[in-house]
Amino acid sequence: MQPSRSGLTSPLIALTRPPAKLNLFLELLRRREDGYHEIDTIMVPIDWSDTLRLRRIERCGINLSVNWSPSIEIVAARLGIDAKSEPDRFDQVLAIPTDGRNLVHQALGRFLDHFDVSGGFQCELVKSIPAGAGMGGASSDAAAALRCAAQLHGIPLNHPDLSRLASDLGSDVPFFLGIDGQSCLAARATGRGEKVAPIGFSSQIDVVVVFPAISLSTARVYSQATVPSDIETPDRLIDALQGGKLEGIAGGILNRLQGPALKIASQIEEILESMWRCGLIGCQLTGSGSACFGFVPSRVDSVRAAEWLRSQLEPGAIVTSARSVPVPSLIELHQSASH
Ligand SMILES: C[C@@](CO)(OP(=O)(O)O)[C@H](O)COP(=O)(O)OP(=O)(O)OC[C@H]1O[C@@H](n2ccc(N)nc2=O)[C@H](O)[C@@H]1O
Ligand SMILES: Nc1ncnc2c1ncn2[C@@H]1O[C@H](COP(=O)(O)OP(=O)(O)O)[C@@H](O)[C@H]1O
């Protein structure tokens, strides 16, 4: 800990904004004996992000608080969920655990055990990324927590054990951790998703993302999926990404989990239809859903399309214009005001 002017220690706060991701391509290669699927996926991080603040505390253990931005009431109102008349749905979509069920709690617990460091952590998580949306919010938060914890303990951010911890936490977590500390705008992930390779690609992508107020369980969607006999590759998409050609990108997308997700939640089909009608191109579900995205040529177009879709779909869905950003997210270090 850093000494303050008064001579007492003043803990540092690590602040970062874990981004969401979109799966532009997701093919199922085979179902494994352990129940996981070998996949081939192309992921892009976007600027729809949570906020995570972490500081070391002397007391052992993890103290985690979770709030919604701008507030749970405003998010619920946009989603058209009434806490009093639909308490189960409210909980299913908006209740985020603060105990060991939260992936941030698990990440910090495993960090403390693995590196055998003294004390604990106080963590404030502000959610903006919907849960059960296929946007990887929990995974991104967990990767951010591992990186902030390493930073506060002077452990190099490219320490190989962090990758192992990330992979044990969930298949999507290594993507958000970044590869050897390098930042990247798009990556191809294979294995169960934990083998990540950056794609050389430097342009930005503008999209509109719609979260249709339903949380889908990743395990349930995978359990309804079938490995196809003709497996597709993302080669065309990768070429288009590297060439920066929007039509090529939109033409190369695929999500083998879209069919099973639509079977579970058929209302997603109407959302996709509205997105096509609005002029977005390459409209598709991300990951195991329920959020969908579509491409536009520029930021101006995404803001305009999001406004129109909002007038059609809200309340009942959250519509956001978004742009690709690099992973991992930057960490800012601040001196804590009180201790
Ligand atoms: C579908 C994807 C696409 O990026 O994202 P989300 O929709 O969850 O964001 C990922 O494959 C999700 O990764 P993640 O959310 O980390 O899943 P995990 O916690 O590892 O696994 C949850 C469950 O999903 C199934 N699962 C997950 C990954 C995989 N390659 N095959 C699977 O069959 C397994 O039943 C597993 O028990
Ligand atoms: N930090 C977290 N943020 C959001 N959800 C979390 C978190 N930790 C655990 N969860 C649980 O994980 C599930 C959703 O995970 P998430 O990554 O947001 O969705 P998806 O797998 O669809 O991308 C929910 O059941 C939620 O309760």
What ipTM did this prediction achieve? Answer: 0.98
Backbone dihedral angles phi then psi of residue 210, each to the nearest 5 degrees: -120, 125
Mutate to test the pocket of ligand 2, among 96, 99, 176, 220 (most ligand atoms within 8 A of CB): 96
* Ligand closest in space to the Cα of 34: 1
pLDDT at 11: 85
Q: Which of 215, 206, 208 is nearest to 79 (CA)?
A: 215
Q: pLDDT 10s digit of each residue in the chain, 339 long? A: 544 344 445 589 999 999 999 999 999 999 999 999 999 999 999 999 999 999 999 999 999 999 999 999 999 999 999 999 999 999 999 999 999 999 999 999 999 999 999 999 999 999 999 999 999 999 999 999 999 999 999 999 999 999 999 999 999 999 999 987 789 999 999 999 999 999 988 889 999 999 999 999 999 999 999 999 999 999 999 999 999 889 999 999 999 999 999 999 999 999 999 999 999 999 999 999 999 999 999 999 999 999 999 999 999 999 999 999 999 999 999 998 754
CB 174, CB 165: distance < 8 Å:
no
Atom in ligand 1 nearest the alpha carbon of residue 222: 33
What is the Cα–Cα distance from 214 to 106, expressed in whole angstroms? 25
User: Which residues contact ligand 1 via a Cβ below 6 A?
Assistant: 23, 26, 35-37, 39, 41, 134, 136, 139, 170-172, 192-193, 218-219, 222, 287-288
Residue owning tokens 């060991």:
100
Beta strands in the chain (DSSP E): 2-3, 9-10, 12-16, 19-31, 37-49, 51-57, 61-68, 120-127, 187-190, 195-198, 206-211, 254-255, 281-285, 292-296, 318-323, 331-335
| Residue 128 assigned to a binding site | no
Q: CB under 8 Å to 198, separation ≥6 — which residues?
A: 179, 182, 184, 186, 187
Q: Atom 3 of ligand 2 has which residue's CA nearest to it?
A: 138
Cβ burial, residue 335 (10 Å; 0-12/13-18/19+): exposed
Cβ burial, residue 60 (10 Å; 0-12/13-18/19+): exposed
* Ligand closest in space to the Cα of 211: 2
pLDDT at 202: 81
Q: Which of 208, 102, 203, 114 is nearest to 161 (CA)?
A: 114
pLDDT at 2: 46
Question: How confident is the model over 292-312, as pLDDT tens digits?
Answer: 999 999 999 999 999 999 999
Q: Which long-range contacts (CB under 8 A, 24 or more apart) does 299-304 make?
A: 299/206, 299/323, 301/206, 302/206, 302/207, 302/208
Mutate to test the pocket of ligand 1, among 29, 218, 256, 264 (most ligand atoms within 8 A of CB): 218
Q: Which two tokens stand for residue 20?
A: 């969401």
Atom in ligand 1 nearest the alpha carbon of residue 26: 3
What is the Cα–Cα distance from 15 to 333, expressed in whole angstroms? 6
pLDDT at 10: 56
pLDDT at 180: 79
pLDDT at 83: 95
Question: All domains of the chain, ordered by start, with CATH?
Answer: 2-335 (3.30.230.10)
pLDDT at 243: 92
What is the Cα–Cα distance from 128 to 110, expressed in whole angstroms? 25
pLDDT at 5: 41
Q: Quote the longest CA-to-CA distance of the chain.
A: 69
pLDDT at 179: 85
In this structure, which amino acid lies at residue 185? L
Beta strands in 32-117 (DSSP E): 37-49, 51-57, 61-68
Q: CB under 8 Å to 293, separation ≥6 — which residues?
A: 22, 207, 208, 209, 210, 283, 284, 286, 322
What is the 183 CA–ligand 1 centroid distance (Å)? 23
Catalytic residues: 21, 172
CB 248, CB 255: distance < 8 Å:
no
Q: Is 212 in the pocket of ligand 2 (CB under 6 A)?
A: no
CB 132, CB 290: distance < 8 Å:
yes
Q: Which of 320, 247, 239 is nearest to 286 (CA)?
A: 320
What is the Cα–Cα distance from 306 to 284, expressed in whole angstroms? 16
pLDDT at 181: 73
In the chain, the percentage of residues whose pLDDT exceeds 90 is 92
